[in-house]
Amino acid sequence: MRNVLALVQISFYNIIRQSFFSLIMLGCYLFILSSPAFTMFTLLNAKKLILDMGMATILLAVLGSSVLGIFSIVGGEMEEKTTTLLLSKPISRFTFLLSKILAVSFSLLLIIIPLIVVLIMTLRMGVPEAAYSKVDYYILWFEFIPLLLAVIFAGASNYYSDKNFGSSFIISFNILILLSLFLLYLLEKNSLQLNLFKPALLLWMSGIIISPVASILSLKGKIFFALTFSFLIFLLGLTSDYLFRKLLTNQGMKIVYSLIPNFQVFWNEEFWHKGILSMKYLLKSAEYTFFYTFGMMFLGLSIWEREEISGGR
């Protein structure tokens, strides 16, 4: 257990210090923040579109960060021969891979939190879709000030303490944006859609189940290969029920269906539009995530046994 925790901590900081992590989070944050500008001409249906765009943006950010994160700490370490060094220690392959997936899972929370918070704030601000529409532009202060303060803090930490800018920015921004939401909650308690945190948990689970798949693809050590096939698996997972449901009488199709991550479990517009997401469904989704992740981990370990790492085991 001590080895797992130590490897999780190291891998976690190795992920959040990567430039892609901050860029994905920042780009998606600004996109959600500016989404009212794209939706004001939707014939009084702008908030629904903002919500759909925001959740889709968070899903793509989580999946992209998961794949890139697992590649940077599995495929990247294999290229740099760090894996060979680690496995020469009393650390099993299972411990190694488990720590990487846990590190990616925890790091995804630092992507989801600011994005779901800015979505809640943007929905509260409103959209200037008609002359009589009420837009509370002061909400922008709650969105921009944490971002500005996080940049200043990360820059100062990097300059004076020689700390990594990316990791300092990510951690400080998550703390500040949650503090900003708390202050806004004190002012606007009854008008914030805090129930969006529940479907955000489902999006987090979708990032977890793609990580063992990405770890298998990372064995080839090519980022383009891992990203391309992860995206294809994602598209297949979104349509797996439609494509395979009628063919499940065939045993071979059952195996194929079970190997494909079913992202429809985590994506349903009714969860955030009607607020029908129950705790029972969350627990069932968590159960599916747990068993699928561990199943794909063991599949990855069996494939890994046949892979040559720097000329041998």
The DSSP secondary structure of 15-81, one letter per residue, reads HHTSHHHHHHHHHHHHHHHTTHHHHTTSSS-HHHHHHHHHHHHHHHHHHHHHHHHHIIIIIHHHHTT
Q: Annotate 207-233 with b (16+ C-beta within 10 A) or e (fewer).
A: bbbbbbbbbbbbbeeebeebbebbeeb
Inter-residue contact 108 to 208 (CB < 8 Å): yes
Inter-residue contact 56 to 35 (CB < 8 Å): no
| Residue 262 within any structural domain of the chain | yes
Tell me the mean pLDDT in the region 165-194.
91
| Residue 309 within any structural domain of the chain | no
| Residue 261 within any structural domain of the chain | yes
Write down the pLDDT at residue 220.
Answer: 65
> How many Å apart are CA 115 and CA 212, to the nearest integer?
24
Say yes or no to pLDDT of 242 above 80: no
Whole-model pTM: value is: 0.87
Q: Max CA-CA distance within the chain?
A: 70
Say yes or no to pLDDT of 6 above 50: yes
What is the average pLDDT score of the chain? 84
Say yes or no to pLDDT of 80 above 60: no
Confidence of residue 82 (pLDDT cuts 50, 70, 90): low
- Comparison of pLDDT for 111 and 189, the residue scoring more: 111
Measured distance between the N- and C-terminal CA atoms of the chain, rounded to whole angstroms:
23
Write down the pLDDT at residue 73.
Answer: 84
| Residue 205 within any structural domain of the chain | yes
Structure tokens at 199: 């479907």
Domain count, the chain: 1
Nearest of 217, 175, 210 to residue 293 by alpha carbon:
210
Nearest of 198, 228, 201 to residue 214 by alpha carbon:
228
> How many Å apart are CA 280 and CA 97, to the nearest integer?
29
Confidence of residue 290 (pLDDT cuts 50, 70, 90): very high
- Comparison of pLDDT for 274 and 87, the residue scoring more: 274
Quote the domain boundaries for residue 148: 2-304
Write down the pLDDT at residue 311.
Answer: 44
| Residue 279 within any structural domain of the chain | yes
| Residue 313 within any structural domain of the chain | no
Write down the pLDDT at residue 182.
Answer: 94
DSSP state of 137: T
Inter-residue contact 57 to 111 (CB < 8 Å): no
Inter-residue contact 22 to 170 (CB < 8 Å): yes
| Residue 39 within any structural domain of the chain | yes
| Residue 311 within any structural domain of the chain | no
